[in-house]
Amino acid sequence: MSRAPSRVVIDCDPGIDDAIALMLAYASPELDVAGVTTVAGNVGLDQVVDNALRVCDLIGPPAAATPVLRGYAGPLARALRQPDEPVHGAYGLGGVELPAPSRAAHPGHAVDWTAGQIRAAAPGEFTLIATAPLTNVAALLHGHPDTRERLKEIVVMGGAAFAPGNTTPAAEFNFHADPEAARYVTESGVPLRIVGLDVTREALTPLADAEALIADGAPVTAAAGRMLSHLIDRYARRHTVRACAVHDALAVAAAVRPDLLEWTDAWVTVECAGEFTRGALVADVHGRTGHAPNARVASGVDAEAFRGFLMSRLRDRYGAARLAA
């Protein structure tokens, strides 16, 4: 007897890996995506919203009808920091041009809409999957505190508990972009799983997979392959490896197949004041702070199993063979 799908809201900043994460979420019958909320991050909010709408159109039903909502255009406690360079290309999708959105964003603010969804559902029904700076999520938990105990869990792509950052030596992009929000979420007491650079960098998607998706030739697989190729080109220039981390897709995979990862209980917080450590995820795995654990931190990943999971889900749901069947 299969379990009922988990109802989720995905808070994102597409962004190539956010786009792949959305594709994976809609290719996973274990998830029921009730809404896609957006926040500034990889690109500015207007572009993020436009990209989210275009990707949902590309995915098709039910994504094309899923409410997409505008969230915050930047952190609440400090100035917005745009990436120093367009990692995801000028418009955020690796130069892959998708048709203009077929619809506008759903009216209302992402945070208020999400709060309403959570209140209307049974306690423990909703999971948040956050693949962007945590401004919206922190605003939800702060402005609608009753949602904290109604949420099943929050799965976050962010941080680097035991590995170097990717934005500063100490900090990963999502946590660096809004460290106050990240700290608020980590210390909120809501059940939390953190999928950080410690594991996303170990589960790379090779060029061969991107090329196979392009060769498949269906609209979604080809677009996914071209987006991934953009990231791989950048990785190849910086890291001499012809592969890329699809950070946000691993967070979605963690919500569907937590067995793909190893988890370590820890008390976590985020540094907000350090001159060189702003946004750093601090994970106390040995109880040195005296605090009880407040998160499960992904500390290992079955890279080949994730690779196979991602590729098979994308092909089975969107591939040319599926469309021809």
> At closest approach, how far in Å is the CB of 168 from ligand RIB?
12
The answer to whether 161 and 150 have CB atoms below 8 angstroms apart is no
Q: Is 232 in the site for Ca ion (CB under 5 A)?
A: no
Residue 271 partner contact from Ca ion, ligand RIB, none using kind-dependent CB cut-offs of 5 to 8 Å:
none
> At closest approach, how far in Å is the CB of 158 from ligand RIB?
7
Candidates 14-22, 67-75, 89-97, 121-129: pick the segment binding ligand RIB (CB under 6 A).
14-22
Question: According to CB under 6 A, which one of 234, 247, 278, 317 is a site residue for ligand RIB?
Answer: 247
Question: According to CB under 6 A, which one of 11, 17, 178, 271 is a site residue for ligand RIB?
Answer: 17
Q: Is 174 in the site for ligand RIB (CB under 6 A)?
A: yes
Q: Where are the alpha helices (DSSP H) in the chain?
A: 16-26, 45-59, 110-120, 135-143, 173-177, 179-186, 197-200, 207-216, 219-239, 247-256, 303-318, 320-324
Q: Is 173 in the site for ligand RIB (CB under 6 A)?
A: yes
The answer to whether 274 and 171 have CB atoms below 8 angstroms apart is no
Q: Is 235 in the site for ligand RIB (CB under 6 A)?
A: no
Question: According to CB under 6 A, which one of 6, 42, 66, 127 is a site residue for ligand RIB?
Answer: 42
**Which of 106, 142, 247, 291 is the catalytic position?**
247
Q: How far apart are alpha carbons 129 and 35 in whole angstroms?
A: 11
> At closest approach, how far in Å is the CB of 277 from ligand RIB?
16
Neighbours of 81 (CB within 10 A): 18
Residue 263 partner contact from Ca ion, ligand RIB, none using kind-dependent CB cut-offs of 5 to 8 Å:
none
Site mask, Ca ion, residues 16-35, x = CB under 5 A? --x-----------------
- Is 41 or 89 the residue whose CB approaches ligand RIB more closely? 41
> At closest approach, how far in Å is the CB of 90 from ligand RIB?
16
User: Which residues lie below 8 Å from residue 196, measured CB to CB, with a gap of 6+?
Assistant: 157, 158, 159, 160, 161, 163, 172, 281, 297, 298
Q: Is 157 in the site for ligand RIB (CB under 6 A)?
A: yes
- Is 291 a residue of the active site? no
User: Which residues lie below 8 Å from residue 214, measured CB to CB, with a gap of 6+?
Assistant: 221, 222, 225, 226, 229
* Burial 203-231, CB ≥16 within 10 A → b, else e: bbbebebbebbbebebebbbbbbbbbbbb
The answer to whether 224 and 216 have CB atoms below 8 angstroms apart is no
Residue 299, sorted as left (phi over 0), alpha (psi -120 to 50) or beta, turns out to be alpha
Residue 35 partner contact from Ca ion, ligand RIB, none using kind-dependent CB cut-offs of 5 to 8 Å:
none
User: Which residues lie below 8 Å from residue 226, measured CB to CB, with a gap of 6+?
Assistant: 94, 95, 96, 210, 214
Q: Is 178 in the site for Ca ion (CB under 5 A)?
A: no
Q: Which helix (H) or strand (E) holds 70?
A: strand 68-70
Residue 127 partner contact from Ca ion, ligand RIB, none using kind-dependent CB cut-offs of 5 to 8 Å:
none
Q: Is 72 in the site for ligand RIB (CB under 6 A)?
A: no
Enzyme catalytic residues: 247
Instruction: Give the interface with Ca ion as residue ranges (CB under 5 A).
Output: 13, 15, 18, 131-132, 248
Instruction: Give the interface with ligand RIB as residue ranges (CB under 6 A).
Output: 13, 15, 17-18, 41-42, 131-132, 157, 166, 172-174, 247-248
